[in-house]
Each structure stands twice: as C-alpha cells, then as structure tokens.
Amino acid sequence: MNSPLPANRWHAVLALALLMVVLAGALALLTPPGTFFTRTATDYYGWQTDAYLSGQLHLKIAPHPAMLALDNPWSTANAPYYIRDLALYDGRYFVYSGIAPILTVMAPVRLATGWFATETFACVVLALVAAVATLAFLAEFRRQCAIQVPRPLGALTVLMTLIGNGALCWLAEIGNTQLAAVSGWAFQSLMLWAGLRALRATHPARWLALASLAFGLSVASRPSLLFAGAALLPFAWAVWRKADDEPVSLGAVAVAVLAPAAIIGAGLAWLNAARFGSPLEFGIRFTLSHWGDTRELTFFSFSHLGPNLWAYLVAAPQVVPEWPFVEVGWRAPVGALFLPYLAGIFGLRTWGRVSSVPAAGRVAVAAAVALLIGNAGPLLLYLVHWSRYWLDLVVPATLLASLGWMGICRNAQGTRRRARVGLAISAAAVNVLMIAAVFFETLD
C-alpha cells in the first residue's frame, strides 16, 4: 500500500490546486465572452474539429470559385480570395496544423459540452500541462539524484520554467501555429517526465509506453519534432540495463517504446494519404500564403542554417529608452535574450561519467541533450525563423540549464559552492526579468 503524502506534500498539492482555481477564476472574469468557448466554430482548429466530428476530412468552408478558376490557385493572384494559412488540395480547404490539440482538447470539449473550445482555451490548457509536466520532471530529477537546492535558486528555477522560456509571449498572441507549438511543448515535457519516472517504477514498461504515447502526440502536434524521439533512447537503455530483482526484457522495452508511437504514426500516415494523397505529406506544401505558390519553395536547406543560427542564438533585441527598455518583434527571434542560460548549461559537466553521479542524472541529461539536438536540426534548416518555433530550442535549453544548476548545487562545496550558486541565481534572475519585461511589452 502506498504511504500517505507527508504534510508538506499535501500543502504543496493544496497550494497548486488553489492556484489553478484562482487562475481559472481570473481568466473567466478578465476575458470577454467567447474567448474560451463558442456555440459555433470561429477559428482554424475549431473549423477542423467541426469537420472531423461531422464525418469529413475537409473543412465545411468552400474555397472561393474565382480562386479555383485560376490557372494556379496557389499563386499571388489568389490574394483577394484565399484564407491565409489554410491548405488547398483537390478544391477543398484543410487545416495543415497538427491534429493533437483536436484529439486531446477540442474534440473532447465539443463532445462533452456541445460547445466549441477556442484555440485560446486549448493553448492555455496545454501550456498548463507543459508547465506542470516540466516541474514534475525537475522534481523527479531532484528526488532520484538526492539534491538539496537552495530555496532562492529553486524558486527562480520554477519562475524560469514558467516565465523565462518566453511561453507567455506566445499566449499573448494565439493562433493555430502558436497552439501547435505549445502542444508540442506539452507532450515533449510529458515524454521526459514519464521516461524519467520509469527509472524507479515497479512497472517501468508502462511508463515507457506513456512516454512513447506523449512522443507520438508531440509529432501529431508538429511533425518537425520527429527527431526528438531520440530522447526516449536513454530512458529505454537505462530501464533495460537496470539491475534489480525483476529485470525488464529487451522485447518488453522495445514494445513499450515503439508500439504507442507507431500506432500514432500509422494514424498520421493514413490521415495524410486521405487528405493530401501521400502518407508523408502533411499539407504545408499546399498552404495559401503571401509567399505565393508554396509548392515551389524549398522548406529545408543548409542555406538557411546561417540566418537561423544568428536569429535563434545571437540576435539582440533593440534597446529603447522607455520601459521595458527592449523592443522585440515576435516574428523575428532574438536569441541573445537567452544567453543567461549558459551559466546553467556550463554546469552540465558536473553530471559526467563518474562513480559518485547517480545514473538518473546522466540519463536525464542525455535525454535533454537529445531533445535539444532533435528539435534543433529541422528548426535550423527551415525556410524562416519565426518566434513561435523558438520553443523548440528554449524548452530543452531551460531544462539543461536547470539540470546544470542542480549539478552545481550537488557538487560544489564551501566558498566555491556559494559563488557558483550565486552565479546561477543571478543568471536565472536576469533571464526571468528580461523575458517577463518582453512579455509585458508585447501586451501593449
């Protein structure tokens, strides 16, 4: 039988529940009617949800006949007629953004209540899921590695996780692409937490299966997150190699890691073939946009690497004399905002392969590094660098910085420890303040 939670744990659970109630009440009072729920579909994901639940794959909205009469409906000549960011194929409209928000939030709300959840509601729900899963991952890491984190650093790590990654800036301007990005963040965070939890579970294969399911849903949010599936491998290896009384067979580990993701992958392949004629076509090549005929664009190329590296890692915001003293255009990322993360990432060397380092520490760091590399590859080769894709880099960078700071706390002693912890706290504080200031600037 599981032992009851200690009193301090119950206090934490009650405080979190109270916070959620207060947040929900504040959102309900401060947002105008129709922000979260509507009687009819009013946005892209709502239109696609309505179509799916009505038994069809294409939207109920018909393309303008004049656009379909053009020799090339995807050319800039369609400007008076098209609906931007919809995919046009075989004379029908589709939403090309990932289906995961529909499966997990929008369709269940519609079926349970008869109302349509808006993209704003789904984005808030999935952002909360992402935040809670990220904090659960950090708490699990701290537990398995037996780390004592100074309270100021612990508090700032939480703030950085919830604010310092810039997610609030996406919530200030929500659309279908922002929702897809936040959905990917949520399910990647769940994947990491479930994978780490498997290392101390009585039935680790079940947790690996949950991690695989979360990975599949992240790809169903944004297909470019496919390569981040490499983050599952350190967890699977650690579970298989774990020496205890009931070792898990390689076959059980393989089934747990592969089966849930494969089922989702097969479903996505069928959906792509049914909508766009190919199991590998997600619809972006048929998108209607100001670029003109997107079928002629090269979306991924090494020629995009240089500009993307500059934007995502180096570019600085414009300094202005008024509060908050920086000005950011959120269509153009400014990587310099996240330089304070380096103070934490340098601490990752404390999780090297030495006997005194818990295995969970090395495994979690390896998974977070794999997540960063897997996300970065497609992002840095993509045609454009837009801020809404920034989460792909910032989320694993946040985690790596946090793990690095915990490593500093665990290994440094005396004056050296205090100096390093002070540096980590300063870096976290600077980062949180910078991103919070930019968020409030976006609200103007």
What are the pLDDT digits (tens) for 77-120? 887 888 888 999 999 999 999 999 999 999 999 999 999 999 98
Ranges 33-47, 217-231, 330-344: which has the least confidence: 330-344
Residue reference for tokens 């991103």: 435
Residue 192 pLDDT greater than 80, yes or no: yes
- DSSP-based three-state secondary structure for 151: helix
Ranges 6-15, 366-375, 420-429: which has the least confidence: 6-15
Q: Cβ distance 409 to 149 under 8 Å?
A: yes
State residue 282's pLDDT score: 94
Which pLDDT band holds residue 336 (cuts at 50, 70, 90)? low
Which pLDDT band holds residue 398 (cuts at 50, 70, 90)? confident
- Give the mean pLDDT of 146-157: 73
Ranges 35-39, 128-132, 417-421: which has the least confidence: 417-421
Q: CB-based contacts of 164: which residues, under 8 Å, 6+ apart?
A: 398, 428, 431, 432, 435, 436
Residue 322 pLDDT greater than 50, yes or no: yes
Which pLDDT band holds residue 6 (cuts at 50, 70, 90)? very low
Which pLDDT band holds residue 7 (cuts at 50, 70, 90)? very low
Ranges 23-32, 50-59, 92-101, 285-294: which has the least confidence: 23-32
State residue 412's pLDDT score: 62
- DSSP-based three-state secondary structure for 99: coil
Residue 226 C-alpha from the chain's centroid: 13
More confident residue, 352 or 313: 313
Which pLDDT band holds residue 27 (cuts at 50, 70, 90)? low
| N-term to C-term CA, the chain | 53
From CA 332, how far away is CA 319, in angstroms rounded? 15
Q: What is the CA radius of gyration of the chain?
A: 23
Q: Which of 151-165, 173-187, 192-206, 387-401 has the highest mean pLDDT?
A: 192-206
From CA 363, how far away is CA 403, in angstroms rounded? 11
- Give the mean pLDDT of 7-20: 53
Cβ neighbours of 203 (radius 10 Å):
13
Residue percentage of the chain with pLDDT more than 70: 72
Ranges 53-57, 84-88, 173-177, 344-348: which has the least confidence: 344-348
Average pLDDT, the chain: 81
pTM as predicted: 0.88
Which pLDDT band holds residue 409 (cuts at 50, 70, 90)? confident
